[in-house]
Amino acid sequence: MEKPIIVWFRRDLRLADHAALSAAVATGQPVVPVFVLDDASPARWRAGAATRWWLHFSLEQLGRSLAERGGALVLRRGDARQVLVELAAECEAAGVYCTRGYEPWAGDLEIDLRDRLAASGVVLKRFAGALLHDPDRLKTQAGSPFKVFTPFWNALRRVEIARPLDVPPRIPLPAKKPKSERLQDWKLLPRRPDWAGGLRDAWTPGESAARERLVAFLDDGLADYATQRNRPDRAGTSRLSPHLAFGEISVRQCWFAAKSAAGRVPHSDAGPETFLKELAWREFSAHLLHHWPTLPDDPFRKEFAAFPWRPDAKALKAWQRGMTGYPIVDAGMRELWATGWMHNRVRMIVASFLIKDLLQPWQDGEAWFWDTLVDADLANNAASWQWVAGSGADAAPYFRIFNPIKQGETFDPDGSYVRRWVPELAALPAAAIHAPWLARGDVLAAAGVEIGVSYPAPIVDHGEARQAALSAFASLKGSSAD
């Protein structure tokens, strides 16, 4: 009897463009697909609550897709290294195949696993698949990793990106099927209270939904993406982020799909170009994290370690709950809480508000996003928070402080985004909705709004907060380096 190959699924919950799975099938040997619920990652970066919700359904889908092709997904819990060594012995596997991970702990974990498997004669093979290109092979002419996006982008578009692979038609079962735990027993879904109703309404996890989302976006989002992506009141973004975060669709599939769609939109390439650039930002963040593993915890620019934050549990709580008194900020935070996702433009606004208006450490915002986002991705999350804080690679300059009123008026001009997520302001006219505390008394009364009662008064005065932030950032200048 031929020895099986174990395919270790991680953040690559798909069958298409899965090099490890395709290679395993190509050996002609039986295949044992396994997912290990691994809490070996540092406690701070364990899967958050929204991530666990998504994972449940994504695994359910993956199991079904494998079964349709003759395979059977095995679920196990524990330290992945130990679990995989045991499973390999149990089913007398010849090898373990997986997609390489780039989180700070992933490399060491894979090497350790390789050594442990080798001790019992089992080979570990790692395949690329999480990114467009190998982070160790995209360097400046001087041989160092890029720290600035534009040259990174120029270099990325010059390299050849591997074409996506097809789904293997059949997944051959081993003669003796290894035991699997039951997904329900993992208790990934919330109960008492079941807060996931908004997530269920907003999302369909899984590979086939991911592919449908991509097709729908190419059809009616891509052409106008460059302008519409900034409008939280419209469906102008791709909404692919959670699917990408779980690897239900690969970034290479997205890349090539957008490129070929671009050829069909000859009048303008701004939309496709902007989308490719966004994929490149994801890539840039992943490469940064690969080369600077402390990115999620420590400021990339060391002088920011001396920043005079003013940690304040009440301010943080008001921000988390969407009770800051700034409608565009509160709308974003409530959209996040309800659906596990927030529009990209609004992410920048709420992050700028937490960091620069409330002077809360960016790590607190990062941790909240990590727990609440269905698309939580260590690299994107860390790099983006540091970008807003000004402490990151190629970051926003410190004097760039978003004005939450102006941002609301520009990107949610008729207030429909705010009305949707902050219903207590829904009856206000557009002219008043982004700064209700400035509205005339009769306008507020007619809309049934009482500032400080039915909706909070602004937690800070933006003008004053802006000045305080500018001087806080200016104070860094003198206190450099030591």
Q: Report residue 52 as tokens.
A: 């666990």
Q: Does 402 bind DNA (CB under 7 A)?
A: yes
Q: Does 470 bind DNA (CB under 7 A)?
A: yes
Q: How far apart are CA 82 and CA 110, in angstroms?
A: 12
Shortest CB 265 distance to DNA, Å = 20
Catalytic residue among 45, 292, 337, 362: 362
Catalytic residue among 281, 303, 403, 437: 281
Q: Cis (ω within 30 of 0) for the bond into 193?
A: yes
The 3-state DSSP class for residue 169 equals coil
Rounded alpha-carbon distances, angstroms, from residue 234 to 230, 320, 411, 415, 416: 9, 23, 10, 11, 9
Q: Does 234 bind DNA (CB under 7 A)?
A: no
CB 7 within 8 A of CB 24: yes
Candidates 198-206, 363-371, 392-400, 433-441 — which segment interacts with DNA by CB under 7 A?
392-400
**385 belongs to the catalytic site:** yes
Provide the mask over 238-277, with x wherever binding to DNA is found by CB under 7 A and - wherever it is not. ---------------------------------------x
Q: How far apart are CA 263 and CA 246, in angstroms?
A: 28
Nearer of residues 363 and 384 to DNA, judged by Cβ: 384
The 3-state DSSP class for residue 8 equals strand
Q: How far apart are CA 101 and CA 108, in angstroms?
A: 10
Q: Does 308 bind DNA (CB under 7 A)?
A: no
**281 belongs to the catalytic site:** yes
Burial 351-381 (b: 16+ CB within 10 A, else e): bbbbbbbbbbbbbbbbbbbbebbbbbbbbbb
Residues 317-346 that bind DNA (CB under 7 A): 344-345
Size of the site for DNA (CB under 7 A): 39
Pick one of 324, 384, 386, 391: the residue that binds DNA (CB under 7 A). Answer: 384
Nearer of residues 35 and 217 to DNA, judged by Cβ: 217
Shortest CB 404 distance to DNA, Å = 8
Catalytic residue among 105, 230, 344, 437: 344
Catalytic residue among 303, 309, 403, 437: 309
Q: How far apart are CA 313 and CA 159, in angstroms?
A: 47
Rounded alpha-carbon distances, angstroms, from residue 439 to 108, 322, 446, 447: 57, 20, 11, 11
Q: How far apart are CA 375 and CA 246, in angstroms?
A: 8
Q: Does 291 bind DNA (CB under 7 A)?
A: no
Rounded alpha-carbon distances, angstroms, from residue 54 to 82, 205, 228, 336: 25, 6, 27, 14
Pick one of 250, 407, 434, 460: the residue that binds DNA (CB under 7 A). Answer: 407
Q: Which helix (H) or strand (E) holds 37?
A: strand 31-37
Q: Does 474 bind DNA (CB under 7 A)?
A: yes
Nearer of residues 35 and 402 to DNA, judged by Cβ: 402
Read out DSSP for 353-367? Answer: IIIIIS---HHHHHH
**381 belongs to the catalytic site:** no
Nearer of residues 228 and 403 to DNA, judged by Cβ: 403
Q: Does 387 bind DNA (CB under 7 A)?
A: yes
Q: Does 144 bind DNA (CB under 7 A)?
A: yes
**309 belongs to the catalytic site:** yes
Q: Does 401 bind DNA (CB under 7 A)?
A: yes
Q: How far apart are CA 254 and CA 426, in angstroms?
A: 37
Q: Report residue 314 as tokens.
A: 């009440």
Q: Does 416 bind DNA (CB under 7 A)?
A: no
Candidates 37-45, 51-59, 286-294, 403-411 — which segment interacts with DNA by CB under 7 A?
403-411
Pick one of 37, 346, 348, 382: the residue that binds DNA (CB under 7 A). Answer: 348
Rounded alpha-carbon distances, angstroms, from residue 131 to 158, 262, 294: 16, 21, 20
Q: Which helix (H) or strand (E) holds 331?
A: helix 327-339
**207 belongs to the catalytic site:** no
Q: Does 152 bind DNA (CB under 7 A)?
A: yes
**230 belongs to the catalytic site:** no
Which residues make up the interface to DNA (CB under 7 A)?
A: 140-142, 144, 146-152, 154-155, 230, 277-278, 281, 344-345, 348, 384, 387, 394, 396-403, 406-407, 410, 462-463, 466, 470, 474
Residues annotated as catalytic (active site), given as ranges: 278, 281, 309, 344, 362, 385
